[in-house]
Amino acid sequence: MAKLELKENNGTVMVSGPLNRDHVGAAWRSRSGWLGTSGDVNIDLAGVEQVDSAGLAFLIQVKAELGEQNRELTLQNIHTQLRQFAEVSGVTELLSLSYAESKSAP
């Protein structure tokens, strides 16, 4: 089974693997290691292999937690599947998903 990895690299959190219900719990519990404690956060989703509604909820929670700390979240290389879940859920604007940077679902 593939593993979800989140690694901070020069101010950007690189995400790889499946962003789904099987993996987001562990990623959430380890967030202090990749979110840091200050500054805005940029998450690059280029390495995401698969995403589900739990992955979307995970990103919403990250954004909410950062908002409580007066920090911003930026998402890059947004998976088409993630964008579709966001549209159906009505949270496209909440996550500031643009159509300029997207990656097709595998």
CA distances from 34 to 12, 17, 25 (A): 9, 16, 14
Phi/psi for 51 (5° steps) reads: -140, 150
- CA 14, 33, 28, 99 dihedral sign is negative
* Rounded average pLDDT over 38-66: 93
Phi and psi of 82, rounded to 5°? Answer: -65, -45
93/4: higher pLDDT = 4
Q: How many CB atoms lie within 10 A of CB 85?
A: 20
Percent of the chain past pLDDT 70, that is, above it, reads 90
pLDDT in tens, 91-102: 878 887 654 444
pLDDT at 48: 94
